[in-house]
Structures are given as structure tokens and as C-alpha cells.
Amino acid sequence: MHRLTGRIFEGDEITWRSKEVLQEIKIGYCKDCGFYHADPYPSEEFLKDYYQSYEIPCPLYIEERFRIARLLLSYLKEDSSIVDIGCGKGEMLEVLHKCGFKNLYGTEFGVLRNQSKRISPITILPYDVNGFCDWCKKEAKRFDCTILINVLEHVPEPVYLLRRIKDIITTDGMLMFVVPNDFNVLQQVYLEKNKTKPWFLILPDHVNFFTINDIDNVVERAGYQVIRKTVQFPLEFFLLQGDDYVAAPKTGKKCHKKRVAFEKAFLEVGKLKELEELYSGFAKMAIGRVMYVFAKPASSK
């Protein structure tokens, strides 16, 4: 059951990317799920049709892919088995391979699979999440780490999905996912100041909108325990300083360069640990444009 509460977004407040607009869909904070989501969710047929021709560039910049690989190296061994679900062209897997991981799998069902990199020893399978879980069951295959990069915001009933995925993780294995930190306080300041519509409510691409404060509960309901939360640079700092990439998207490139320069400064002087501490601090304050969540199946101690 889904019961939206508080401020409800509908009609022109939602940006639609598909040709067909489903007017009946509203977005609000669901008190049953504990996060913002579309209600009702678009049907499976509607999403399937929309994603038939879906082709997005890798959602992570190269610097962030290396950062994730570094973070994973602190939990895993080089021969740990890792699967990237919804791996696109395999960009993240390629970086993990470069960083020394040897036991790598990906799964991708969209048009991107045909373009996926064929790098030995990476295995890329042709399934969607459910098809992949079925394949794992049949093959009695489990992974030490399952990665979901920008997946959970796209799928109806994400808790159900996370529960299914738990079955393919080894008992002392882990889950790592990347998801936008929406409705964060910096966005709210911008929205109130500019009296504009929430630009991040983009349907049917995004059907769930998580804040970093809500995510522990979501993960726990799916049978995991959060072990680490961190974030990407809070890009909204730029928005509130006048580099308005919402009103003028071209500004985004400039903001990206500044953010890369900021991180590069830490890298150049060997202070990546300090940079990670800063980002963990931002995560505690619930700011950061995108969150990285590391979790373990709850039964493992």
C-alpha cells in the first residue's frame, strides 16, 4: 500500500521525458515506504517500452569510477567476485579491472549491452535484474559484492528489488549502490529562494526520490545494514553561489570543472583520506548531490 503525505507534486510540477504523459501520477513522500515516490508507479509495459531505446551515457564521471574502486578495495580482495547490475557498456567494470579486481561480472538488457566492452576477464550477461537473479539461482551463483549504479531511482518497488538481490550476495558479502540524494536541504533552499519547480522530478526515468536520511530505513527494510554512507561533491553549492546550472544548463560544465579541480587538489598532495572524511561529513549533514551506500546482509555479523 502506498499513502502519500505532505506536499504532493503533480501536473506541471513534474518534468516528463516520455512522449506520453501519465497525468494520474503524483509524487510525494510515502509514509508506508519511507521515501518519496511516484504513485501510482508507471506500469511495467510502459517502462519496458520507454527503456527499449534508452541510451544514457555512463552516469559516473571517470574520477568517480576510480573513487568507487578505491572505496571497494578497502572492503574486498582482488579476487572477490563483483557484479555490476545494469552495467551499461561496462565502464565501471573496466575501471575495477584496471584497479586489480579479477572476478568481474555485469548484466545489461538494454540497447547498451550490444555496445558493452568485451574485456577479458569480464563476463557481461544479457539479463534484466529479475532475469539475472533467476540465472544466479539456476547456477547457484553468489557474489561477494553487488553494485547498483543509478538503478534504484528507476525501478518501482525498490525494496522488493533489494530483497531479491540479497539472495545473490554471499553471507559475508556486501551491496554497494549509487543513487541521487533528492529533496536535500540545499535543493530546498534553492527551490524556496527561486520559487521554481523541483527540476529533479524527471519521469518516467526517476520514480523514486531518496534522501540520505531515509536510506537506512529503506535498506533495513530490505534486510541489510548500512555500513558506510558517503556522497559526491554537493553540486548545489554552485547553484546557491550563482552558478545556476538549473536555469542555464550550460553552466554545468563549468561547475564540473571546478569540482574536479577541488578534488584534484587533495589528490595531488596525497590527502585523499582527508577528502573522504570531508565527504563522510557531508553525508552526516545529509548533503551531497549523489550518495554512495555500502551495506551488508543483516544476518551477517
User: 213: which DSSP letter?
Assistant: T
Q: Which stretch binds Zn ion (CB under 5 A): 29-37, 129-137, 143-151, 277-285?
A: 29-37
Q: Report how far residue 246's alpha carbon sits from residue 289's, in angstroms, rounded to the nearest whole number.
A: 13
8 part of the interface to Zn ion, by CB under 5 A: no
Which of residues 25 and 176 has its CB atom nearest to Zn ion in the complex? 25
295, β-bridge pairs? 175, 226
Cell triple for 137: 539461482
Binding Zn ion (rule: CB under 5 A), the pick from 25, 30, 186, 246 is: 30
Q: How many Cα neighbours within 13 Å face the side chain of 282?
A: 24
Which stretch in 6-14, 24-32, 208-216, 223-231 sits in contact with Zn ion by CB under 5 A? Answer: 24-32
State the nearest-atom distance from the C-beta of 160 to Zn ion, in Å. Answer: 11
Please report whether residue 274 would count as binding Zn ion according to CB under 5 A: no
C-alpha cell at 139: 547456477
The answer to whether 158 touches 218, Cβ cutoff 8 Å, is yes
Asked if 155 touches Zn ion (CB under 5 A), the answer is no
**What letter would DSSP give residue 42?**
P
Q: Does 221 bind Zn ion (CB under 5 A)?
A: no
What is the spatial distance between Cα 179 and Cα 208, in angstroms, rounded to a whole number?
10
Least distance (Å) from Zn ion to the CB of residue 54?
Answer: 24
Rounded Cα distance, 167 and 165, in Å: 5
Which one of 1-9, 17-25, 148-156, 164-172 is the stretch in contact with Zn ion (CB under 5 A)?
1-9
Q: How far apart are CA 174 and CA 295, in angstroms?
A: 6
Q: Which of 25-33, 104-112, 163-171, 220-228 is the region at the interface with Zn ion (rule: CB under 5 A)? A: 25-33
* Complex with Zn ion: residue 34 or 86, whichever CB lies closer: 34
How near is the Cβ of 34 to Zn ion at its closest, in Å? 8
- Distance between CA atoms of 202 and 205, rounded to whole angstroms? 6
Preceding amide of 42 cis, omega within 30: no
Which of 33, 60, 133, 168 is in the footprint of Zn ion by CB under 5 A? 33
Q: Which is nearer to Zn ion, 20 or 32 (CB)?
A: 32
If binding is defined by CB under 5 A, does position 32 make contact with Zn ion?
Answer: yes
Residue 101's closest CA among 164, 145, 41, 161? 145
26 in contact with Zn ion (CB under 5 A): no
The grid coordinates of residue 265 equal 587538489
Stretch that binds Zn ion, among 27-35, 104-112, 121-129, 286-294 (CB under 5 A): 27-35
The yes or no reply on residue 207 touching Zn ion (CB under 5 A) is no
Q: Which 3 state secondary structure label does DSSP give 298?
A: coil
Tell me how far, at minimum, the Cβ of 30 lies from Zn ion, in Å. Answer: 3
Specify whether the CB–CB gap between 54 and 225 falls below 8 A.
no
Total interface residues for Zn ion by CB under 5 A: 4
Residue 36 or 105: the one with the smaller Cβ distance to Zn ion is: 36
Residues that bind Zn ion (CB under 5 A): 2, 30, 32-33
